[in-house]
Amino acid sequence: MDLYEHQARELFEKHGIVVPRAEVTDSPERARGIARALGGRAVVKAQVKTGGRGKAGGVRLAADPAAAEHAARRILGMGIKGHTVGTVMLAEPVDVDREFYVSYVLDRAAGRFLAVASAEGGTEIEQVAAERPGAVARIPVDPDEGVTTSTAARIADAAGLPPQAVDVLVRLWEVLVREDALLVEVNPLVRTAQGGIVALDGKVTLDDNALYRQSRWGGERVESADPLEARAAAKGLNYVRLDGAVGVIGNGAGLVMSTLDVVAGCGARPANFLDIGGGASARVMADGLSVVLSDPAVKSVLVNVFGGITACDAVADGIVRALEEVTLTKPLVVRLDGNSAARGRALLDARAHPLVEQATTMDGAARRAARLATAASTAG
Amino acid sequence: MAIYLTKESKVLVQGMTGAEGMKHTRRMLAAGTDVVGGVNPRKAGRTVEFDERAVPVFGSVREGVERTGADVTVVFVPPAFAKAAVVEAADAGIGLAVVITEGIPVHDSVAFTAYARTRGTRIIGPNCPGVITPGQSNAGIIPPDITKSGRIGLVSKSGTLTYQLMYELRDIGFSTCVGIGGDPVVGTSHTDCLAAFQDDPDTELVVLIGEIGGDAEERAAAYIRDHVTKPVVGYIAGFTAPEGRTMGHAGAIVSGSSGTAQAKRDALEAAGVRVGSTPAETARHVAAALGREARYGAVV
């Protein structure tokens, strides 16, 4: 789970990292009051879980409370890379002397975390890393030892960070471990004109697998703006809406991704990703089908299941149940193989719905579903 | 011979007495696996009756190893207990721990994979379907009856894509299939499996299945170029997957790869790997490489 900047700021502060004074609001009028409390001037920053805010006009410096209200009004509701800005954070401006970059990130290949640090922080850090790799220090962290003061000193030294950064590096490691984060990034970490060290902006990604032991975030739900995605999430389905006409349902993320690719290879576009998971019940299948069918963009539906743990007769049973619960108006192509496939196919044969047909191969099923969707789009 | 798992492997099941553990122990036994015991401190001393045999429950992995000579464990315990279970297995000198459990916190996986390395224990997974050497042994939840023994080695992140390919190539058959798991941190990589298959006289060709995210496939490609002389056929899923949101700059700085399906395909092809566009086409590439076109149709 990615956190908003203001949530990351809160975690940094909790672990003793110096951050600018700031407050969050969804109201321009409140923004004026917050700016006044901050001393008049304020940086107004869109709270969105994506990069490139500044370039999109989502960060503005306001010279006084009235300007802060005006800036908040401009930024709230703005779309940045598909994210609508729902809140802004107002922060006290900081006189920046120098910008640094520090992060801990999972090195998947090595199976451990890596400290990444540079004396050249800021939004161009990726370019710095690509063009002058020597300017970015990468130091693996021993999972047993973690980041002690001496490790932190080594990181700071390798990156050319000032001595005050050592304490920040130790505390940032604490954020990573105590909060079960997969990424903590401070960019920029700044030295102020007064000589202090402040975490000006930060990103934190928490590990969804660990939310059960992180009470602070246990109740936090990532609400999807898409009504179908929200409905699917409420039913516990792993559903992502896309922009094509072929609804896709399968089991296992790899097979579903592969099914999307095969549909695309047949010249059609998938309308969604829906993984019913391992050992899916008839109920899950029925819920999934009803969500996919209620997408008006869907012209045909492809069910592609290879039963390993999942029993194909349960999948077929789910399809039959869904046919009782919703009126099927779009063609459904079903491919069942593996565990209990013969029983599953027999169940669908017995139901003999005119809009349900079976295919014997994944490629054949995808071709058929693509053709049906194209035909329906042309006709309609 | 196969890799990692043979009919000589003596297998313990941690979490055997739970619902998933029971179901899959039954399947593993039916596939010929030498399941020598379960581990559950609260049910130690009991035995569980299966069709093939009565399986004793031990109070600890160490007890199981001492009493049976077990060298493999399959872990089904819930996520919160997985780290302790793997550490216990490593301390007991288990050579191979197959961690099926899904949803383990990444910091725990980092800790137990690092610990297992210091003890010489190989971890497969977590969040994986396990490893099967068809006709010999099955450690995990891969369905054993969809393929047969043969000379293809397979390594994959994805469970169901593994099954799909095993089924497509059931007439040729497999030496060993390894589902390494899709979590960010896994104990055994594509590259580890490639190295093992390269050294395995029973494996003639390797199928490598990857998917978007991370750079394991790019690393595997570099390894293939430098070290693998056996033919490798690849498949990558995720060309049309919704674009993941990337937060921050750290990921790109570390891997230097975009992690897209196309980047992975390009890297594999540059290393001389034939990459199929669909699972079926991948199967046809394999058949062609093994001189079995007749049964599978020519590659278009």
| Neighboring chain B residues of A253 at a CB cutoff of 8 Å | 158, 182, 211
Alpha helices in A17-147 (DSSP H): 28-37, 65-75, 125-131
- pLDDT of residue A184 exceeding 50, the answer is yes
B96 and B209: one domain? no
Q: What digits encode the pLDDT tens for the residues B31-42?
A: 999 999 999 999
B28 and B88: one domain? yes
The confidence score (pLDDT) of residue B172 equals: 96
Query: Distance between CA atoms of B192 and A28, rounded to whole angstroms?
Result: 56
Give the CATH architecture of domain A22-91: 2-Layer Sandwich (3.30)
Q: Cβ–Cβ of A50/B247 closer than 8 Å?
A: yes
User: DSSP letter at A2?
Assistant: B
The confidence score (pLDDT) of residue A216 equals: 74
Q: Cβ–Cβ of B114/A112 closer than 8 Å?
A: yes
Residue B140 placed within a domain: no
In chain A, the residue whose alpha carbon lies closest to the alpha carbon of B179 is: A254
The confidence score (pLDDT) of residue B243 equals: 62
Summarize the confidence of residues A56-75 as an average pLDDT.
96
Q: Cβ–Cβ of A363/B164 closer than 8 Å?
A: no
For residue A12, give both structure tokens: 């940094």
- pLDDT of residue A188 exceeding 80, the answer is yes
| Neighboring chain A residues of B184 at a CB cutoff of 8 Å | 106, 108, 182
Question: Which pLDDT band holds residue B300 (cuts at 50, 70, 90)?
Answer: very low
Work out the minimum CA distance from A111 to partner chain B, whole angstroms.
5
B90 and B179: one domain? no
Secondary structure of residue B256 in the 3-state scheme: coil
The confidence score (pLDDT) of residue B213 equals: 81
- pLDDT of residue A362 exceeding 90, the answer is yes
| Neighboring chain A residues of B167 at a CB cutoff of 8 Å | 306, 337-338
CB pairs under 8 A between A and B: 194
| Mutation site, B165, B186, B249, B296, interface A, largest A CB count within 10 A | B249
The segment(s) of chain A belonging to CATH 3.40.50.261 are 227-379
Summarize the confidence of residues A334-356 as an average pLDDT.
95
| Mutation site, A81, A108, A187, interface B, largest B CB count within 10 A | A108
| Neighboring chain A residues of B110 at a CB cutoff of 8 Å | 106, 111-113, 143
The CATH class for the domain spanning A227-379 reads alpha beta
Residue B298 placed within a domain: no
Q: Within 10 A of A55 (CB to CB), how many other CB atoms are there?
A: 10
Query: Distance between CA atoms of A313 and A243, rounded to whole angstroms?
Result: 30
- pLDDT of residue B74 exceeding 60, the answer is yes
Q: Which residues on neighbouring strands pair with residue B130, listed in sequence order?
A: B140, B179
- Identify the domain containing residue B152 by its residue range: 146-292
User: Would you say B6 and B137 are in contact if contact means Cβ atoms under 8 Å apart?
Assistant: yes
If you write DSSP's letter for every residue of A227-244 in order, what string do you get? HHHHHHHHTT-EEEE-SS
Summarize the confidence of residues B257-261 as an average pLDDT.
78
Interface check A362 vs B, CB under 8 A: yes
Q: Cβ–Cβ of A261/B277 closer than 8 Å?
A: yes
Work out the minimum CA distance from B130 to partner chain A, whole angstroms.
12
- pLDDT of residue B245 exceeding 50, the answer is no
The 3 state secondary structure assigned to chain A is CECCHHHHHHHHHHCCCCCCCEEEECCHHHHHHHHHHCCCCEEEEECCCCCCCCCCCCEEEECCHHHHHHHHHHHCCCEECCEECCCEEEECCCCEEEEEEEEEEEECCCCEEEEEEECCCCCCHHHHHHHCHHHEEEEECCCCCCCCHHHHHHHHHHHCCCCCHHHHHHHHHHHHHHCCEEEEEEEEEEEECCCCEEECCEEEEECHHHHHHCHHHHCCCCCCCCHHHHHHHHCCCEEEECCCCEEEEECCHHHHHHHHHHHHHCCCCECEEEECCCCCCHHHHHHHHHHHHCCCCCCEEEEEEEECCCCHHHHHHHHHHHHHHCCCCCCEEEEEEECCHHHHHHHHHHHCCCCEEECCCHHHHHHHHHHHHHHHHHHC
Nearest CB among B105, B253, B277 relative to A126 is that of B253
B219 and B253: one domain? yes
- pLDDT of residue A249 exceeding 80, the answer is yes
User: Would you say A86 and A76 are in contact if contact means Cβ atoms under 8 Å apart?
Assistant: yes
Summarize the confidence of residues B253-272 as an average pLDDT.
84
Question: Which pLDDT band holds residue B296 (cuts at 50, 70, 90)?
Answer: low
B165 and B90: one domain? no
Residue B225 placed within a domain: yes
When mean pLDDT is compared across A137-151, A229-243, B125-139, the lowest value belongs to: A229-243
Nearest CB among B159, B211, B248 relative to A103 is that of B248
B31 and B156: one domain? no
The confidence score (pLDDT) of residue B72 equals: 98
In chain A, the residue whose alpha carbon lies closest to the alpha carbon of B161 is: A255
CATH of the domain at B82: 3.40.50.720
Nearest CB among B141, B143, B211 relative to A254 is that of B211
The confidence score (pLDDT) of residue B293 equals: 65
Burial class of residue A292 (count of CB atoms within 10 Å of its CB; 0-12, 13-18, 19+) = buried
Work out the minimum CA distance from A69 to partner chain B, whole angstroms.
28
Q: Cβ–Cβ of A2/B245 closer than 8 Å?
A: yes
Type of residue at A175: V
- pLDDT of residue B246 exceeding 60, the answer is no
Summarize the confidence of residues B242-271 as an average pLDDT.
73
**Residue numbers of A annotated as active site:** 101, 185
Interface check A258 vs B, CB under 8 A: yes
Q: How many domains does chain B have?
A: 2
Residue B299 placed within a domain: no
B84 and B172: one domain? no
Residue with tokens 């700071």: A156
Residue with tokens 């099914």: A259
Type of residue at A205: T
| Neighboring chain B residues of A103 at a CB cutoff of 8 Å | 248-250
B103 and B164: one domain? no
The confidence score (pLDDT) of residue A288 equals: 95
Work out the minimum CA distance from A325 to partner chain B, whole angstroms.
29
Summarize the confidence of residues A22-39 as an average pLDDT.
97
Q: Cβ–Cβ of A254/B182 closer than 8 Å?
A: yes
B113 and B153: one domain? no
Q: Which residues on neighbouring strands pair with residue A189, listed in sequence order?
A: A100, A199
Query: Distance between CA atoms of A102 and A14, rounded to whole angstroms?
Result: 18
Q: Cβ–Cβ of A108/B158 closer than 8 Å?
A: no
* Dihedral pair phi/psi, residue A331, rounded to 5°: -70, 145
B153 and B288: one domain? yes
Summarize the confidence of residues B131-149 as an average pLDDT.
95
Summarize the confidence of residues A94-117 as an average pLDDT.
95
The segment(s) of chain A belonging to CATH 3.30.1490.20 are 22-91
- pLDDT of residue A214 exceeding 90, the answer is no
Q: Which of B190, B227, B249, B285 is catalytic?
A: B249
Percent of chain B with pLDDT over 70: 92
Q: Is B249 a residue of the active site?
A: yes
The confidence score (pLDDT) of residue B254 equals: 59
Residue B261 placed within a domain: yes
Work out the minimum CA distance from A261 to partner chain B, whole angstroms.
6
In chain A, the residue whose alpha carbon lies closest to the alpha carbon of B262 is: A261
B86 and B150: one domain? no
User: Would you say A202 and A7 are in contact if contact means Cβ atoms under 8 Å apart?
Assistant: no
Interface check A20 vs B, CB under 8 A: no
The CATH homologous superfamily of the domain defined by A96-213 = ATP-grasp fold, B domain (3.30.470.20)
Q: Cβ–Cβ of A182/B106 closer than 8 Å?
A: yes
Residue B2 placed within a domain: no
Summarize the confidence of residues B152-170 as an average pLDDT.
95
In chain B, the residue whose alpha carbon lies closest to the alpha carbon of A114 is: B254
Work out the minimum CA distance from A361 to partner chain B, whole angstroms.
9
Q: Cβ–Cβ of A129/B253 closer than 8 Å?
A: yes
The confidence score (pLDDT) of residue B248 equals: 54
Work out the minimum CA distance from A58 to partner chain B, whole angstroms.
16
Interface check A342 vs B, CB under 8 A: no
- Window A:105-124, CB contacts with B under 8 Å: 105-109, 111-114, 116
Summarize the confidence of residues B238-243 as an average pLDDT.
80
CATH of the domain at B225: 3.40.50.261
